[in-house]
């Protein structure tokens, strides 16, 4: 059985833990090491259990604790070549990764601790941002976060998912009527910003239809504190899936909490 725990999701920090009881790994490390260790311990795990860390991009909310965790616990880090160079000079990670950072090539499957991992590029205003497709114990897990536009190439990975972790960052009306300056609103809505509820919901429709009903779980992630609510994100997804005939009992759909740990899920 695969277990999944979101330690935090959103602008205050992003960190996702996966384990099958034999191999355990993190995607991103944007949560302080003490907080990370505490949340894992509350669910019967520890940072010592982690075998490796995958990194999506170099924004602070995704790598704040990466250098400390990798250095203190001697955990290998996997990312693309351009992102590796950026991390070696980033204030969160400079001088801390040493020989513990390894390169994965986008769109080229690789095996890490017996797990098949494929990175794929996503459009975001960071250094070589990627999502991940992970094949673990026969289950296809796909993570798409911090993504300005859901491209055809991203869709080709998403339609393989049994479990999909998908950004649903903002509600268009809340963003438009909110207090953010115009330049920041434009950045969020741009093709290198974030996916809003509408874009995520439309993508879900296509994924479900092309997956022919085999999509089993969807976790909506990176929900904005200021421009969205979990209820709005969930409602948009439920309505969109309903339009293509998906009933509530057909799929598990939930949001990942901002700034705190989720329940421990089984995949």
pLDDT digits (tens, 9 = 90+) for 230-250: 999 999 999 999 999 999 899
- The reported pLDDT for the residue numbered 99 is 85
Domain with CATH 3.60.15.10 in the chain: 1-105
- The reported pLDDT for the residue numbered 211 is 83
- The reported pLDDT for the residue numbered 106 is 98
Domain with CATH 3.40.50 in the chain: 138-258
CB-CB contact of 130 with 56 (8 Å): yes
The highest-level CATH class for domain 1-105 is alpha beta
- The reported pLDDT for the residue numbered 213 is 74
CB-CB contact of 200 with 122 (8 Å): no
Q: pTM (2 decimals)?
A: 0.97
Indicate whether 98 pLDDT > 90: no
Considering only CA atoms, give the Rg of the chain. 17
Indicate whether 31 pLDDT > 80: yes
CA distance 75 to 28: 12
Domain 138-258, CATH:
3.40.50
Indicate whether 78 pLDDT > 80: yes
CA distance 78 to 128: 13
Q: What is the mean pLDDT of residues 13-22?
A: 98
- The reported pLDDT for the residue numbered 36 is 96
Indicate whether 212 pLDDT > 80: no
């Amino acid at each position: 059985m695969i277990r999944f725990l979101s330690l935090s999701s959103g602008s205050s920090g992003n960190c996702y833990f996966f384990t099958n009881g034999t191999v355990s790994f993190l995607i991103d490390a944007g949560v302080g090491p003490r907080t990370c260790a505490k949340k894992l311990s509350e669910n019967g795990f520890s940072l010592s259990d982690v075998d490796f860390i995958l990194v999506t991009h170099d924004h602070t909310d995704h790598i704040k604790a990466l250098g400390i965790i990798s250095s203190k616990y001697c955990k290998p880090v996997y990312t693309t070549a351009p992102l590796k160079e950026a991390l070696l000079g980033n204030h969160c990670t400079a001088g801390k990764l040493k020989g513990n950072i390894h390169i994965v090539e986008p769109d080229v499957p690789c095996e890490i601790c017996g797990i098949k991992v494929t990175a794929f590029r996503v459009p975001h205003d960071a250094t070589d941002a990627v999502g991940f497709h992970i094949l673990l114990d026969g289950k296809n897990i796909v993570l798409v976060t911090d993504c300005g536009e859901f491209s055809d190439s991203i869709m080709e990975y998403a339609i393989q998912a049994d479990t999909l972790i998908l950004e649903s960052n903002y509600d268009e009306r809340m963003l438009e009527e909110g207090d953010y300056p115009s330049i920041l609103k434009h950045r969020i809505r741009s093709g290198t910003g974030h996916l809003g509820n509408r874009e995520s919901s439309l993508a879900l429709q296509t994924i479900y239809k092309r997956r022919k009903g085999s999509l089993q779980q969807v976790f909506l992630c990176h929900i904005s504190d200021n421009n969205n609510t979990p209820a709005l994100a969930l409602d948009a997804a439920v309505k969109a899936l309903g339009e293509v005939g998906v009933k509530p009992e057909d799929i598990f759909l939930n949001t990942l909490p901002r700034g705190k740990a989720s329940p421990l899920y089984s995949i």
